[in-house]
């Protein structure tokens, strides 16, 4: 059984629920920023000195934001990142450990075969969030890999059927 003390940790219920909502919004902003190739939005979820270990990239979170959005803009036609419900544990009134499952789909053109494929990825973000001057953001992120899959696909809908994506 999970008790309120385990959920709220050293925070009052109002402080904890406010922190949880803020952390959740950071996770959503990250996914929106990645999918829209918006480096500024992605960078906004990290503290300026935050670090990110995505396996193929290890460095500052703000540098990852630029690296990832540039790479995805060139590589993928479209992406969708989806975060599951985060598990949040407060270490102190200003530090939270957050584990979040992530599912990502990258739609990619394979010019050598004249087709498109989907890369599917499932992993977990292990984040250390810190509250500095009332501002909860990621101080460190590590991405782990659970599984992945690649499959060739054919479009299910004719081009132009839907409103264009807000991707930059």
CATH classification at residue 81: 3.10.450.50
Structural domain contains residue 162 = no
Task: Name the one residue in this structure whose structure tokens are 């996914």.
Answer: 31
pLDDT digits (tens, 9 = 90+) for 109-121: 988 888 999 999 9
Helices and strands per DSSP (H, E), number in the chain? 4, 7
Structural domain contains residue 158 = no
Strand partners of residue 52: 59, 141
- Token code pair at residue 43: 């960078």
Structural domain contains residue 69 = yes
Counting the structural domains of the chain, the total is: 1
Residue 117 CB neighbours (<10 A): 15
Q: CA–CA distance from 158 to each of 67, 111, 116, 153, 161 (Å)?
A: 32, 20, 14, 14, 6
Answer yes or no: are the C-beta atoms of 10 and 90 closer than 8 Å.
Answer: yes
Structural domain contains residue 8 = yes
Q: Where does the chain show beta strands of DSSP type E? A: 46-53, 58-60, 78-83, 87-92, 95-110, 115-132, 135-153
Q: What is the rounded CA–CA span in Å between residue 131 and residue 16?
A: 12
Residue-level pLDDT at 168 = 67
Residue-level pLDDT at 61 = 98
Model confidence, pTM:
0.93
Structural domain contains residue 164 = no
Q: What is the rounded CA–CA span in Å between residue 100 and residue 115?
A: 32
Strand partners of residue 149: 120
Structural domain contains residue 165 = no
Q: Tell me how many degrees the CA angle 122-118-125 measures, rounded to the nearest 5.
A: 20
Structural domain contains residue 167 = no
Structural domain contains residue 97 = yes
Residue-level pLDDT at 127 = 98
- Token code pair at residue 57: 């990239």
Q: Which domain holds residue 32?
A: 4-153
Residue-level pLDDT at 32 = 97
The parts of the chain modelled with pLDDT lower than 50 are none
């Amino acid at each position: 059984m999970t008790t309120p003390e385990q959920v709220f940790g050293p925070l009052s219920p109002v402080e904890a629920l406010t922190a949880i909502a803020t952390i959740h919004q950071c996770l959503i902003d990250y996914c929106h920023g990645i999918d829209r190739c918006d480096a500024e939005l992605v960078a906004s979820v990290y503290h300026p000195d935050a670090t990110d270990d995505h396996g193929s990239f290890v460095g500052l979170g703000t540098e990852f934001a630029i690296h990832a959005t540039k790479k995805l803009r060139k590589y993928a036609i479209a992406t969708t990142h989806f975060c599951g419900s985060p598990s949040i544990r407060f270490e102190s009134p200003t530090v939270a450990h957050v584990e979040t499952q992530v599912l990502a789909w990258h739609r990619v053109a394979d010019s050598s075969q004249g087709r498109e494929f989907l890369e599917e990825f499932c992993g977990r973000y292990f984040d250390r969030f810190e509250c500095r001057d009332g501002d909860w953001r990621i101080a460190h992120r590590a991405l782990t890999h659970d599984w992945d899959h690649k499959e060739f696909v054919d479009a299910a809908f004719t081009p132009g059927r839907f409103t264009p994506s807000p991707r930059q």
